[in-house]
Amino acid sequence: MAFSVKDEATDNAVRRLAKLKNKSLTDTIREAVELEYQRARGKVPLTERLERLSERYRAFPANGMQADKAFFDDLSGDA
């Protein structure tokens, strides 16, 4: 089984990475593809991440206090 890379930029990128890691082209491609596959498979969609964040935010109890604008302005240097 063989792959034929017909894109010069891709070929150069793989060769640069292989040289940097002191690995063969095959090992470099295999490692890069496996790592990308694992990363993509484990990626949680943005909507799910935002929903989790929203749930955490809503879990905080309301204390009825108002934010002190002057305090936060001072922290950010907008005093």
Inter-residue contact 49 to 60 (CB < 8 Å): no
Average pLDDT over residues 31-48: 91
Q: Return d(Cα 9, Cα 47) in angstroms, integer.
A: 34
Q: Return d(Cα 21, Cα 43) in angstroms, integer.
A: 26
Question: What average pLDDT is seen over the chain?
Answer: 91
- Is this model's pTM higher than 0.75 or not? no
Q: Return d(Cα 75, Cα 79) in angstroms, integer.
A: 8
pLDDT over threshold 80, residue 79? no
